[in-house]
Chains A and B, each alone.
Chain A
Amino acid sequence: MNGLGTQLPAAFADLEPYAAWGHATETARNHYRIDRTQAEIEAFANAMLPRLDAICSYLDAYPLAALPADARRLYDMLLCVAEVSPSTEGYHAPRVPYGYDSRRFQAQEDFPLRPRF
């Protein structure tokens, strides 16, 4: 949270309604995705798509390892766009149709070679 009770940099105030998509790990992003409806996923993707270039430009002013909290939230939302891409561009469903349960296919978040951000 910044001082104004918002979670994102001021330039991205239009994305505040979607700030809940900003999860810091793949596991959290995936679980958030598969527990949403397809309509919620599409709304998030459609809100983010026209802003991706601006988001990347804004974030690249900082080293990725040292993002301020509001920029980090924006970054986590950016990565969540990748998380939902199979739903919006392949499956047209929150989960992999007939797929193996992703909760059984655990990301090794503490694997030593995994990027920290």
Chain B
Amino acid sequence: MRALEAVQPLHLRYPELGTAPVPIEPYISPEYFAREKRHIFKKVWQHVARVEEFPNPGDFLSVELPASDASIVVTRGHDGAFHAMHNVCSHRMNKVVYDERGNTRKLYCKFHGWSYDLAGRLVGVPSEGSFFDLDRAACALAPVAVDTWQGFVFVNTDPEPAMTLAEYLGPMYAALEGYPFHKLTSCYSWQTVVNANWKLAIDAFQETYHVAFVHGPSIAAALRRDKGGSIVPIDGLCDDYHRRLSIAGNPKSVYGNPKAVMEAAGDAPASSGRPIADAALRLGRNGMKTTFDDSDRPPGLNWTNDPDWAFDINVVFPDFYLSLRPNYMQAYNFRPISHNQTLFDARVYYPEMTTAGGRLYQEYMKVALRDVLLEDLSTLERTQAGCETRAKSHMQLQEHEVMVRHNAWVVDRMIREGEARER
């Protein structure tokens, strides 16, 4: 086990990130966003769904990816395989799917009736004889690369992705494989279009410096403080794309107790001074349909083996945030719409509850999270507006905001590399 003091300062471990103030321009510039689209969002793997959203052959999902200039359809074929294609009919470019979700045998264009199978092959053309040497094979829906990792469905709109999904995620996240994603089947989700840049939005979730202030009345007491009273991460990891933070909790709190409702009934928890929290914890015991044990903790989880560990934050570049706890996870997408608009799609996945007390506990945790997200969201539009005043040209970042720095650095590096390739 590594003591907090023994962890090398992150700015020394990742010297390429530097320590200088970070420019604001990339958060407010339409021109910079156009470069991000070209060199990042049209090149990388992007999370769009869980496999459990497609339980049956013929299930489909349509996804708008504005930063990739793409509208995508993901389907599950009769063999269980996933397919993804552009939602653009080969005839005169109408959408072949209008609904967000559904189940179908074929994809029909409602404009002139062209039809495609679940893999995107053209299978029906009304009045086909009136066309001129129509090549059905060439008129398949334009394919999009699709693959899954641990039950998460990713797409890549690059016609020839530079890396497989496994190559992209493996170096950082292979050590998380085996986490019990499949046991977390009760999902609550919320969406909002927030008037903020996608980087600025995700940055508000990848440091703990804000917790004592933004979350003072809610969950600040659920996280561990250092000797100086600061909430700092246990450790952080960065690679060429992705980043991770490990966070310690206060096991005396409901929200920060990783063993909540997992222990056998009998040993009553200490009173927290929050009677609904105490009741939820007490009545929630043994309310879960499933159980968790040591085999549900892959080595990449709590990688420092900190005894107070509460959760890890995993940012899958560019816009997927996956926070893993012993018995639930949060999965957020910060999908860019424009340089100052982001679709925030927030999901929390819990195990299924089978008792009323179990549901009370789950509802308590969910409502607490939702209101915490309202706290986080409250800063975004104010911050974006502040950036757009250009009152300041740079922001000041400290040691424990290294992930904000890393985000800006990766984005800028990928743009520079992409532009160098095009010269």
Contact = CB atoms under 8 A, between A and B. Distances in A.
B38 interface: no
Interface string B340-362: 00000000010011111101100
B367 A60 contact: no
A112 B185 contact: no
B377 A100 contact: yes
A13 B384 CA distance: 51
Given A89-B277, A115-B352, A99 B371 contact: yes
A45 B375 contact: no
Contact of B356 (A59, A88, A99, A105): A59
Interface stretch (B188-196, B262-270, B298-306, B403-411): B188-196
Contact of A105 (B50, B53, B192, B280): B192
Contact of A60 (B53, B101, B356, B378): B356
B356 to A, nearest CB: 4
A112 B53 contact: yes
Nearest to A110: B101
Contact of B363 (A45, A56, A82, A98): A82
A115 B371 contact: no
A106 interface: yes
Specify which of A30, A78, A82 lies most central, judged by the most chain B CB atoms within 10 Å of its CB.
A82
B191 A106 contact: yes
B50 A85 contact: no
Interface string A74-117: 01001101111110111110001111111011111001111101
Interface residues of A, number: 43
A60 B353 CA distance: 12
Interface residues of B, number: 44
Nearest to A103: B192
Contacts of B50: 113
Interface string A32-70: 000000000000010001001101100110001000000
A82 B53 contact: no
A83 B368 CA distance: 8
Contacts of A108: 189-191
B166 to A, nearest CB: 25
B283 A53 contact: yes
A100 B189 contact: no
A97 B216 CA distance: 11
A50 to B, nearest CB: 10
B248 to A, nearest CB: 21
Interface in B262-292: 274-277, 279-280, 283
Contacts, number: 138
B190 A86 contact: no
A12 B197 CA distance: 50
Contacts of A102: 370-371, 374
Specify which of A55, A84, A89, A101 lies most central, judged by the most chain B CB atoms within 10 Å of its CB.
A89
B360 A56 contact: yes
B276 A83 contact: no
B375 A96 contact: yes
Contacts of B374: 96, 99-102, 105
A99 B376 CA distance: 8
B76 to A, nearest CB: 13
A88 B276 contact: yes
A65 to B, nearest CB: 10
Contact of A81 (B188, B352, B355, B360): B360
B417 interface: no
B187 interface: yes
A91 B214 CA distance: 12
Contacts of B280: 82, 85
Interface of A: 26, 30, 45, 49, 52-53, 55-56, 59-60, 64, 75, 78-79, 81-86, 88-92, 96-102, 104-108, 111-115, 117
Given A49-B276, A60-B356, A85-B276, 11 more contacts: A26-B363, A45-B276, A52-B279, A79-B360, A85-B277, A88-B276, A100-B374, A100-B378, A105-B191, A111-B187, A112-B53
26 contacts: A52-B360, A53-B283, A60-B355, A60-B356, A64-B354, A79-B360, A82-B280, A82-B367, A85-B277, A86-B367, A89-B277, A90-B217, A96-B378, A99-B375, A100-B375, A100-B377, A105-B190, A105-B373, A105-B374, A108-B189, A108-B191, A112-B53, A113-B349, A115-B186, A115-B188, A117-B359
Q: 10 shortest A-B CB distances, which residue pairs?
A: A100-B377, A82-B363, A113-B187, A59-B356, A99-B374, A89-B274, A85-B276, A82-B364, A56-B357, A108-B189
